[in-house]
Amino acid sequence: MDFSIKAFDSTKAGQAGLAHAKTECLVVGVFEQQPLAGLAKALDVASKGLLARMAKRGELDGKLGSTLMLHEVAGWSQARVLFVGLGREDQFSPKGFNEASRAAARAVLASRATDALWTLPQAAVPKRDTAWAVSASVLALRDATYRFTQMKSKAEPANTALRKVLFAVAPDDLKAAKVAARHGEAIANGMALTKDLGNLPGNVCTPTYLADTARKLAREFKLKADILGPKQIEALKMGSFLSVARGSVQPPQFIVLKYEGGAAKQAPIVLVGKGVTFDSGGISIKPGEGMDEMKYDMCGAASVLGTMRAVAEMGLKLNVIAIVPATENMPGGRATKPGDVVTSMSGQTIEVLNTDAEGRLILCDALTYAERFKPAAVIDVATLTGACIIALGHVNTGLFSKSDALADELLAAGRTTGDTAWRLPVEEEYQEQLKSNFADMANIGGRPAGSVTAACFLSRFTEKYEWAHLDIAGTAWKSGAAKGATGRPVPLLTQFLIDREAR
Ligand code: BES
Ligand code: MN
Ligand code: ZN
């Protein structure tokens, strides 16, 4: 889909110009319980009061997320005009804008229109600018068009005829809106990569496949990829990471992908993504029901690779490094057993009381490896605990950090993009639950506060830098009829990096 921007002013003459713009589908926002204004008013005049009459009958009520498509109306220049309800103006919010955009995207895609003139960014969103509205619109449109068809034997017809979207903005906003559309597309491309990797089955998306994806990104976007295989991982003494890989026939891969957009001496931001390409639980095997969804256990890895793609496409002036420990977690004759004690790269020993708590075992060695980059901050992203779904559901990503400043930055990036996180504690009091009679620590802390003790475990490997942990167990994919990866938290991470570049 092709996005472009055109300036139309909000004066009466400008709105009249918009009302006569040539497009297969004009997309117009209308507020609830309000007299027709702006573009809607201009269209009403051109159609001799049609809209006023419809509004009076309650057919055009402006309810948030409602849509009304009118075809070939006398006096209008377009084959279709789509009216999108924005809700009550005094209650309008960024969330409301996104809801309206999603509804509008669905309606435009369902029509046969090949192009659309999208005027929603003209509605002032409280606490947001036009550039935000443009980027949010791009994301809504691209999200609605995404489909995963790679594994179907026959090519499926596209779900839309829509090829071109033109955004109408005020002349003063033209420049910022162009940048925002480009950023929106970069984020959408990153999210599409993240969704594809997540949706691919475990027999295709193996640790080697993730490594090849990183190599391909490096070629396409001038990144540097360093991929370490089993021998090199062993040489680094990553005994904890390797203990998870033991049961699998697939060789583990340790992926390092570097984007150098900033000055050489500028400390990098390091993103660490959990890359368990299938989590059977290992010897502590999971129950069978829904186990297929454990192909999504590499969504942390997929999101940091998607974020790297977005950052590279945007050309941010920052240094960013992605680290992905990638492996399967499988049972087998060589697999790690409950009670085994392993030695992490940091030298700390771990009693593996449950082989299904494997995410932390691979992340801890990646977090130790990250020290060598003297990072400005390290953020790990992981489908780490079922307990996080119990705590926060599928709405918020769990955020853990001992640094209030870093936590606040990430929370703000989540609010900006609507890809939200909620902070949970990482306090010393919980560390007690990780006591082991036989090693420096156990890899599980019991049922109470399972997500917190997982974060506490990770915190023991992050003393040398500022660190935050995102538990995306509830937000990385959807189950049920709409089963599929969401692309989260690519918007949050990318916005965090955009904000870092600007500070
Ligand atoms: N990948 C899972 C966490 C998970 C489960 C994410 C379901 C999303 C949906 C992780 O490796 C795991 O198995 N965690 C265990 C930890 C427990 C053994 C302490 C869990 O959450 O049950
Ligand atoms: Mn597990
Ligand atoms: Zn897992």
User: Which tens digit of pLDDT belongs to each residue from 448-489?
Assistant: 999 999 999 999 999 999 999 999 999 999 999 999 999 999
Distance separating alpha carbons of residues 261 and 399, to the nearest angstrom: 27
Mutation test of ligand 1: which of 244, 276, 296, 385 has the most ligand atoms closer than 8 Å to its C-beta? Answer: 385
Q: Is the CB of 173 under 6 A from ligand 1?
A: no
Closest C-alpha residue for ligand 1 atom 9: 386
Residues of the chain with CATH 3.40.630.10: 189-502
Distance 331 CA to ligand 2 centre (A): 12
| Residue 408 pLDDT | 98
Atom of ligand 1 nearest to the CA of 286: 13
Other CB atoms within 10 Å distance of the CB of residue 479: 11
Which residues fall within 8 angstroms of residue 175, CB to CB, at 6 or more apart? none
What whole-number distance in Å separates Cα of residue 217 and Cα of residue 210?
A: 11
Residue 356 in marked binding region: yes
Point out the ligand 1 atom lying closest to the alpha carbon of residue 383.
6
Measured in Å, residue 67 CA sits from the centre of ligand 2 at: 43
- 115 carries a ligand binding annotation: no
- Which tokens in the block code for residue 492? 């949050």
CA-to-CA dists, residue 11 to 7, 38, 81, 216, angstroms = 12, 8, 20, 49
Measured distance CA(442)–CA(52) in Å, rounded: 68
3-state helix, strand, coil in the chain (%, to 5): 40, 20, 35
> Which 8-state DSSP code applies to residue 447?
S
Give pLDDT, residue 385. Answer: 98
What stretch(es) of the chain map to CATH 3.40.220.10? 2-169
Which tokens is 449 given?
Answer: 């506060």
For 437, the token pair is 């009679």
Residues of the chain with pLDDT under 70: none
User: H-type helices in 202-298, by residue range?
Assistant: 207-221, 230-235, 239-245
Is residue 359 lining ligand 1, measured as CB closer than 6 Å? yes
Nearest residue (CA) to ligand 1, atom 17: 357
**CB contact set of 355 (below 8 Å; sequence gap of 6+):** 244, 281, 282, 283, 284, 329, 335, 336, 337, 338
- pTM, two decimals, is 0.98
CB of 275 within 6 A of ligand 1: the answer is: no
Indicate the helix (H) or strand (E) that contains 168: strand 164-169
Q: Based on the number of CB atoms within 10 Å of its own CB, is 260 exposed (0-12), middle (13-18) or buried (19 or more)?
A: middle
| 34 CA to centre of ligand 1 in angstroms | 50
DSSP class of residue 247 equals T
Tell me, what's the pLDDT at 61?
95
Residues serving a catalytic function are 286, 360
Instruction: For ligand 1, say whether the CB of 282 is within 6 Å of any of its atoms.
Output: no
Q: Does domain 2-169 have CATH number 1.20.140.10?
A: no
Which tokens sit at 137?
Answer: 């619109």
Cβ atoms of residues 197 and 210 within 8 Å: yes
Alpha helices in 3-118 (DSSP H): 12-19, 38-46, 50-56, 94-110
How far the first Cα of the chain sits from its last, in Å, is 32
What secondary structure letter does DSSP report for 155?
Answer: P
Distances (CA, A) of 250 to 54, 84, 204: 63, 50, 11
- The CA angle 410-452-196, to the nearest 5 degrees, is 55
What is residue 201's predicted lDDT score, i.e. its pLDDT? 99
Q: What are the helix (H) ranges across 111-206?
A: 130-145, 174-199
Q: Round to whole Å and give the CA distance between 308 and 188.
A: 12
**Rounded to the nearest 5°, which phi and psi values hold at 340?**
-60, 145
Q: Which CATH number fits domain 189-502: 3.30.70.1140, 3.40.630.10, 3.20.20.60, 3.90.1150.10?
A: 3.40.630.10
pLDDT of residue 13: 87
Q: What's the pLDDT score for residue 313?
A: 98
Looking at residue 159, what is its pLDDT? 87
404 marked as binding residue? no
Task: Please list, in sequence order, all residues whose beta carbon lies within 8 angstroms of the beta carbon of residue 193, skipping any fewer than 6 positions away.
Answer: 213, 302, 305, 306, 309
Q: Which of 234, 301, 242, 303 is nearest to 273 (CA)?
A: 301
Question: Is the shortest distance between the CB of 328 and ligand 1 below 6 Å?
Answer: no
Confidence at residue 424, expressed as pLDDT on a 0 to 100 scale: 98
Give the Cα separation of 311 and 268 in Å (integer).
13
**445 touches ligand 1 (CB under 6 Å):** no
For 312-364, the pLDDT digits (tens) are: 999 999 999 999 999 999 999 999 999 999 999 999 999 999 999 999 999 99
CA of 389 to the centre of ligand 3 (A): 13
Residue 363 near residue 325, CB atoms below 8 Å: yes
